[in-house]
Chains A and B, each alone.
Chain A
Amino acid sequence: MAGFDKVVSSYEEAMAGLKDNMTVIAGGFGLCGIPENLIREIQRKGTKGLTLVSNNCGVDDFGLGILLPNRQIKKIIASYVGENAEFERQMMNGELEVELTPQGTLAEKMRAGGAGIPAFFTATGYGTPVAEGKEEREFDGRHYILEPAIKGDFAIVKAWKADRYGNLVFRKTARNFNPMAATAGKITVVEVEEIVEPGELDPDHIHTPGIYVNRLILGTFEKRIEQRTVRSDSE
């Protein structure tokens, strides 16, 4: 690495410094746009006691779900979980702590964490279990609750294309939580399908500026589909 060049050549190097009991923020929605190889590297490293912040927790054999069998996850902060049996088992047995967080609040917590905003008021969750223990305040006759921001020791991100400086372009709905996750990690690691030279991306088309990115790696992706839904050609 030299200057602004963020490219690393191995997954081991990409996730170097990840230690037990750290907080990791992951991009992705369902299995779409997840940093699948960075997750595999965490599995390989065997890091334990992790707090994971991600909209979902993958399925049994793909995505964050692969960190469950070896009990690598201590706590997950997510909006929707339970697409896998092992997750449910660990949650029901109290082996895994789950903090259910509304999807928009989760996105905003990451955004705020990366933007230097320590907390924000939102109407989402007022009067529900999500509001328990949180400060409430009224603005213009509406009720809001105070939600703290989230920062991670690491953020793991999947983008489509990058230049060597870490400027990122996402593709279609694989963008989802990735841009916010990228801003909220002390160390942000991004895996991409293509790396080009600086200057090759149109600055107007960059979704995430390279300032947020610490390490960049070129990967190959399975991109598993969770709900394959098709119409017939005749329709």
Chain B
Amino acid sequence: MALTREQLAQRVAQELQDGYYVNLGIGIPTLVANYIPEGIEVMLQSENGLLGMGQFPTEAEIDADLINAGKQTVTMAKGASIFDSAQSFAMIRGGHVDLTVLGAFEVDINGNIASYMIPGKLIKGMGGAMDLVAGADNIIVTMTHASKHGVSKLLSNCTLPLTGKGCIKRVLTDLAFIEIKNGKFYLLERAPGVSVAEIISLTEGELVVEGDVPEMQL
């Protein structure tokens, strides 16, 4: 079975480590915050200028001056700090954020990512995504492995305008956990009940499968 959005978030959360500063993109990445393992401390960075993002507010706590990068009302966690946008992206570009999780339309075997524009269709902009992929060393891309029509999104070459070049090393899809190195995809784990054959058939870029590929533990 392909992973649900919640399961994708659960698997990403296993990559969190105690003391990590983490930037979570909009969509599935945001859900990761619900699965932070017990006993570890993680500080969430929101690129509009908040380090230490808390949970959503109650009705009584709502504050128009306190939102996240998805423009949702939020709260501040204990030990939070506030800063301006230049400072926020100094943290991001300067490589101070330990883990970045974001979505994508396509990735390819050279670590290129396309996530912000579908010419003629969706032209909303990159927001902070280009800075995040250029600045972070440790990035996990979360996405569906293929379109509803079975068209692979893990490609030899991205077809859409790029968000970043040669910057992606790990991709978690609803079918597989994949590493990108040496111009190839490497299959690290498969979603529970999903066969290696199915993953191969839905991966257009070169995919290396070494030995028995373990199922993800959720």
Contacts and interface: CB of A to CB of B under 8 A. Distances in A.
Interface of A: 29-33, 55, 78-82, 91, 98, 100, 102-108, 110-111, 122-130, 143, 160, 170-180, 207, 223-233, 235
B85 A180 contact: yes
10 contacts: A80-B124, A106-B85, A124-B130, A223-B65, A224-B64, A225-B67, A227-B72, A228-B62, A229-B73, A230-B57
Interface residues of B, number: 52
Nearest to B162: A128
B149 interface: no
Contacts, number: 179
B131 A124 contact: yes
A143 B166 CA distance: 11
Given A32-B71, A79-B126, A179 B84 contact: yes
B48 A176 contact: yes
A126 B165 CA distance: 7
A111 B47 CA distance: 16
B64 A223 contact: yes
B27 interface: no
Given A128-B163, A175-B84, A233 B58 contact: yes
Interface of B: 46-50, 55-60, 62-68, 70-74, 76, 82-86, 88-89, 92-93, 112, 117, 123-131, 134-135, 161-166
A174 to B, nearest CB: 4
Given A104-B89, A104-B93, A230-B59, 14 more contacts: A32-B71, A80-B127, A104-B92, A104-B130, A104-B135, A122-B93, A126-B134, A129-B161, A160-B65, A175-B49, A175-B83, A177-B85, A180-B85, A226-B67
A111 B67 contact: no
Contacts of B131: 102-105, 124
Contacts of A82: 123-125
A29 B48 contact: yes
Contacts of B63: 172
B24 to A, nearest CB: 14
Contacts of A232: 58
A103 B126 contact: yes
A152 to B, nearest CB: 16
Given A126-B165, A173-B50, A175-B49, A231 B130 contact: no
Contact of A125 (B67, B89, B134): B134
A227 B68 CA distance: 10
Pick the 6 closest A-B CB pairs, nearest first. A127-B165, A104-B89, A104-B131, A223-B64, A107-B85, A102-B130
Given A100-B126, A104-B92, A123-B134, A173 B86 contact: no
Contacts of A104: 47, 85-86, 88-89, 92-93, 128, 130-131, 135
A100 B65 contact: no
B124 A81 contact: yes
A179 B87 CA distance: 10
A171 B65 contact: yes
B84 A176 contact: yes
B217 to A, nearest CB: 27
Contact of B64 (A78, A123, A175, A225): A225
A55 B48 CA distance: 10
A125 B65 contact: no
Contacts of A29: 48-49, 67, 71, 85
A180 B84 contact: yes
A33 B83 CA distance: 13
